[in-house]
Structure 1
Amino acid sequence: MMELYIKQISTFGRVLLAGDHTAWSRPDAVTLKERIIEHSSAAIAGNKPITIGQGYSTIVWIPEDSGSWALPLRHERITSWDSPIEKAVGQLKKVCELMPSRPVSVWDSEYGCAPFILKTSEIGADILVRLLSNLCLWGAPPAYEGSARPRKHGAKFKLNEPSTWGEAASVLEVNDPKLGRVKVSLWEDLHFRKAAYRSMSLLRVERLDEHGNLRVLKPLWLAWVGEEMPPLQEVWRLYLRRFTIDHWYRFFKQRLHWTVPKLSTPEQCEHWSDLMPLMTWELWLARDIVADNPLPWQKSMDKLTPGRVAQAMGGVLAVIGTPTLPPKPRGKSLGWPPGKRRSHKNRYPTVKKLLLNHAKNNKNLLNLKHLHS
């Protein structure tokens, strides 16, 4: 199915992808296998922002320069033995193998770490990822002095300590019609300590007022990893398009009712989740043939959003009809057979990945002891 999706992309120019993962909260489903602890932004005030359920990783194609359309290419469950980073790397690799050109992929700060940068080194995609403001990067090492081991790291670059930054390679100021005055600074040849051979360019995006002071206290830190970076006035705008995947998550949870069914097994959850990309692509392909059907309190739109297309799909479905037959009356159910015993469903504990990693380490230690004995 993904091959059919990517055929739609071949007619476009630069391909922009976005990746993220979200949680399907099932805190009370004690009979559902492989429930793990997931991040949840809708937690009760005062509680930790976590929930118990299943995580799903998604790679989407962003087809437009504006708007809220995000078209999923892969939407898969994160198993209890996978991590979000490992799942995202596998999905990105499979998508890029079928891409007609080298895409640009944008990622949130969860993926701004050395493991993700290392695991994507062999994938044919450029990466633009957000970094947390408390990270520490390192510059290019100095020239070899001829004694001892060559150094891997240069000067320290701590994102929240301006004294370690040094002079920027390039600085740009633009007046954005929506964001106002924006200042973009660029540093080159930086890397993570555990990914010394993966060089990246670092961008700091600041919103300023008319007096040149910070309008937003926390600046946006971005890292570019890959081949030639687009011009400075364009590259930081690419990250702003990442938020379409958040719009899609909200849309298919609220409008397409992804999290409404109370399914019993992970396999049933996966089959139901496979319908979400299909429905999204159907809405995208129908956007030019539907007539806007606003509710009384809504304004008419020329460029329809996913929600407005879904609102107008009733007229399309009424025209094309359905291949199914009308339901037939089947009479009264026979009910539960007399004498047949009832059994309760098995209950499964919440899977804690830290314990799994600890068990793997203990197993490796036991294997080493067995080899040396």
Structure 2
Amino acid sequence: MTSVPDPCPIDAAGELTRFRTEFYGCLTARADAVFELAEAVLCSDGPVRSLVELSLVGEHRRGHGSLYAALDRGRLDIGRLRLAMSAVTLPRAADGRLVLAVDVTCWLRPDAHTSPERILCHTYGRGKDQHIMIPGWPYSFVVALESGRSSWTAPLDALRLAPGDDLAAVTASQLREVVGRLTAAGQWRAGDADILIVADAGYDGPRLAWLLRDLPVQILTRMRSDRVLRRPAPARVAGTNGRPPRHGGEFIFGDPTSWGVPDVGTTTDTRLYGQATAAAWDRLHPRLTRRAAWAEAAELPVIEGTVIRLEVDRLPSGAIPKPVWLWWSRVDATPAEVDRMWQAFLRRFDIEICQSQCTDNYSLAA
């Protein structure tokens, strides 16, 4: 492959060769067996329903006994692998910035009664569309998102959550390490656009923004439709006594009379969703209280951002579309930035494909 005169295949093949070599170097025990097992998983034609099937894949040139030995005795240098994943060419958004998605997926282990640190994981759609809690291991994933019609992602990190972990604190620490590795690998340099981090409603966006405020990142999260945020504090009237207010009037997601006129409004025709209408309100923040994560804070911060409400005409699944509320950790948004944010959030769903493939492989290995 490397002898083909076309420079594009040479570059792609050369980078793949370098990564395969580095991946092999990350294997510290039973390297050959683990490497060929990984090759078999990637090159198998169709879904693999049992481990023994992998030994029949052409790329697995060893006996089936080495397959089990790889799983039982193989060892991997996780730190070196993380560095290798950060050094490959990563997909970028249309404006050249990196867009990372974070999410938690669960490897359900209801029958593994002796497995340590299992947590009751929330699932939906099992047992007549009911919400069911099933024991398992939750993993926090970080991937780089692509643009265009592809739904490929570039996995950068996976971390298992322990019982009692603070999701926001663990995710912030995980993202700090990922951004550090990306910076060290030259994926982000001074003067580049901030890295955009996209998350679903299970994450506390304002708190993530506060914990990562010293990094070149922006946070974009979905918010539940029952949230209440606050406007900026009104200007202090001369001659007024008492402590100045820290918060303005309420912005109630479920009460349109509290919204007022949006600061930005856009309308876009899309292929999948029909007409997409976005409205944005500037400088909204949650009113924090000295509870939970903020109980020991010396002073409660005011974390302002932009709230975006997105409505679409239809969904590809045929379901009835509901408005989506987003919170972005920047203020003074332009119409182009508002459109860029909701489009970036829609790309977040690509991470769920990556997670389902990873958990399927975990289940196979178990």
TM over 0.5: yes
Gaps of 5+ in 2: 1-80, 183-187, 289-299
Cα deviation code 1:116-167 (max 9, x no counterpart): 3433333321111111100001000011234211211101001011011111
Q: Is 1:247 aligned to residue 346 of structure 2?
A: no
Relative to structure 1, the CA distance from residue 66 to residue 227 in structure 2 (aligned partners, 3 Å threshold; closer, same or farther) is farther
Does structure 2 retain, via aligned residues, the 8 Å contact 1:138–1:156?
A: yes
1:38 matched residue in structure 2: 121
Q: What TM-score, normalized to structure 2?
A: 0.64
User: 2:241 corresponds to which residue?
Assistant: 147
Provide the alpha-carbon RMSD of the alignment.
2.3
- Name the amino acid aligned to 1:205: L
Q: Secondary structure at the match of 2:88?
A: helix
- Following TM superposition, the consecutive aligned residue runs of length 4 or more in structure 1 with deviations greater than 3 angstroms are 9-12, 112-118, 226-230
Q: What's the CA shift string for 1:197-247, capped at 9, x where partnerless?
A: 2110011111138xxxxx945201111104775523322111111011001
Which structure is larger by alpha-carbon Rg, 1 or 2?
1
- Say if 2:91 and 2:146, in contact at 8 Å, map to a contact too: no
Match of 1:208 in 2: 313
Shift of 1:42: 4.5
Partner of residue 78, structure 2: none
Deviations 1:300-345, CA, capped at 9 Å, x for gaps? xxxxxxxxxxxxxxxxxxxxxxxxxxxxxxxxxxxxxxxxxxxxxx
2:287 equivalent among 172, 188, 193 = 193
In the alignment, residue 107 of structure 1 is paired with which amino acid? A
TM-score by length of 1: 0.63
CA separation in 1, counterparts of 2:231 and 2:158?
37
Q: C-alpha displacement at 1:85, in angstroms?
A: 2.2
Matches of 1:118 and 1:126, distance apart in 2:
10
Question: Which gives a bigger RCO, structure 1 or 2 (Cα 8 Å, sep 6+)?
Answer: 1
* SS of match in other structure, 2:349: helix
Separation in structure 1 between the aligned mates of residue 268 and residue 328 of structure 2, nearest angstrom:
20
CA pair 221-233 structure 1, distance change in 2 beyond 3 A: same
Show the 5 A alignment for 1:108-119: 108-112=200-204, 114-119=206-211
State, as a whole percentage, how many aligned pairs show the same letter: 25
Query: Can you list the C-alpha shifts for 1:56-85, whole angstroms capped at 9, x where unaligned?
Result: 101101133331111111101001241332
For the Cα contact (< 8 Å) 2:313–2:321, is it kept in 1?
Answer: no
Aligned to 1:8: 88
Match of 1:221 in 2: 325
- The 5 Å alignment of 1:152-167 reads 152-167=246-261
Aligned to 1:76: 159
Distance (whole Å) between structure 1 residues aligned to residue 85 and residue 365 of structure 2: 26
Aligned length: 255
Match of 1:20 in 2: 103
